[in-house]
């Protein structure tokens, strides 16, 4: 039996990095996946890849910070697969700068991508999960949500916010049989924040984890028995 057989998962920020790796990993473990991101051509390629090995997937291109996107993705999941069991709030961006160099527009952009997206998607699916008395919601935060660092004040603020939201929703939704987790990985070898505080050289020379390795941790988290919950998890490389 595949570990996520019969589960339906929504994954935001699925066009690259951890989101894409998670969609592939979930589909290989039997989950039906609904993927969303802003880049339609990448989503189409992802859906084709999943279908090539017998998985089931559907994509919707849109900005995860918009209420309309969340509502339409939820509706698509219901129409295509009949339910929603897992929500991976993975959409987000990184921008690492001194506070004096960060514009208000950049602040708003990071807050919307990292915090507002998780709010609108969680609100879109939670009534369905309450009705079915089960579900798993994961906020992909970061180790930056546990400890701040220089040039990360705005980014860390969003990641702390995700941890706080997850902790509060754990208390709020657990009586309904819904698990909520703050998932806090360290650096990964992806395009994340390239040109916004990271460089290709830095990532290539690092001990950062591969996205597929971290996706395996998400599979394990979402495949735990119904009576087992992990409110927070930290995933780090061996460097």
Q: What is the pLDDT of residues 73-127, one digit of tens each?
A: 999 999 999 999 999 999 999 999 999 999 999 999 999 999 999 999 999 999 9
How many other C-beta atoms are found inside a 10 Å radius of the C-beta of residue 212?
15
**How does DSSP classify residue 152?**
-
Q: Considering the domain boundaries, does residue 1 fall inside one?
A: no
Region 153-169: mean pLDDT is: 98
Question: Mean pLDDT lowest for which of 57-61, 71-75, 98-102, 235-239?
Answer: 235-239
Q: Considering the domain boundaries, does residue 70 fall inside one?
A: yes
Q: Considering the domain boundaries, does residue 176 fall inside one?
A: yes
Residue span of the structural domain in which 44 resides:
8-235
**Long-range contacts, stretch 193-198, CB < 8 angstroms, 24+ apart:** 193/93, 193/94, 193/95, 193/96, 196/93, 196/94, 196/95, 196/96, 196/97, 197/94, 197/95, 197/96, 197/97, 197/151, 198/94, 198/96
How high is the pLDDT of residue 203? 79
How high is the pLDDT of residue 113? 97
Report which of residues 40 and 197 the model is more confident about. 40
How high is the pLDDT of residue 193? 63
Q: Give the pairing type, strands 32-37 and 86-89.
A: unpaired
Region 146-159: mean pLDDT is: 97
How high is the pLDDT of residue 195? 76
Q: Which of 60, 155, 160, 183 is catalytic?
A: 155
Interacting residues of 184 by C-beta distance below 8 A, sequence separation 6+? 141, 142, 143, 145, 146, 159, 163, 232, 233, 234, 235
- Taking each helix axis from N to C end, the angle separating 17-28 and 40-52, rounded to the nearest 10 degrees, works out to 20
Helix (H) or strand (E) holding 44: helix 40-52
Annotation says 208 is catalytic: no
Q: Considering the domain boundaries, does residue 192 fall inside one?
A: yes
How high is the pLDDT of residue 64? 98
Number of domains in the chain: 1
Q: What is the mean pLDDT of the chain?
A: 96
Share of the chain above pLDDT 90, in %: 91
Q: Considering the domain boundaries, does residue 2 fall inside one?
A: no
Q: Considering the domain boundaries, does residue 92 fall inside one?
A: yes
Q: Give the pairing type, strands 32-37 and 8-12.
A: parallel
pTM of the model: 0.95
Place of tokens 């514009």: 103
pLDDT interval class at 201 (50, 70, 90): confident
Q: What is the CATH number of the domain that holds 123?
A: 3.40.50.720
Report which of residues 21 and 199 the model is more confident about. 21
Interacting residues of 108 by C-beta distance below 8 A, sequence separation 6+? none
Q: Please check whether residue 110 is in contact with residue 158, taking contact to mean a CB–CB distance below 8 angstroms.
A: yes
Place of tokens 């988290």: 221
């Amino acid at each position: 039996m595949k570990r996520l057989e019969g589960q339906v998962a929504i994954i935001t920020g699925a066009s690259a990095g951890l989101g894409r790796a998670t969609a592939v990993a979930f589909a290989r473990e039997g989950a039906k996946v609904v993927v969303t991101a802003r880049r339609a051509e990448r989503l189409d390629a992802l859906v084709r890849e999943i279908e090539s090995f017998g998985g089931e997937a559907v994509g919707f291109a849109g900005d995860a910070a918009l209420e309309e996107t969340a509502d339409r993705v939820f509706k698509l999941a219901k129409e295509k697969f009949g339910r929603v069991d897992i929500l991976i709030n993975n959409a987000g961006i990184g921008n690492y700068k001194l506070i004096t160099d960060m514009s208000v527009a950049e602040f708003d952009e990071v807050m919307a991508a990292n915090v507002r997206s998780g709010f609108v998607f969680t609100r879109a699916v939670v009534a369905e999960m309450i009705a079915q008395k089960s579900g798993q919601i994961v906020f992909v935060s970061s180790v930056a949500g546990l400890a701040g660092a220089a040039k990360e004040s705005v980014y860390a603020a969003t990641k702390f916010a995700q941890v706080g939201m997850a902790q509060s929703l754990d208390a709020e939704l657990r009586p309904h049989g819904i698990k909520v987790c703050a998932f806090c990985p360290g650096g990964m070898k992806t395009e994340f924040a390239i040109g916004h505080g990271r460089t290709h050289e830095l990532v290539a020379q690092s001990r950062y984890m591969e996205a597929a390795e971290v996706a395996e941790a998400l599979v394990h988290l979402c495949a735990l028995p119904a009576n087992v919950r992990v409110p927070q998890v930290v995933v780090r490389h061996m460097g």
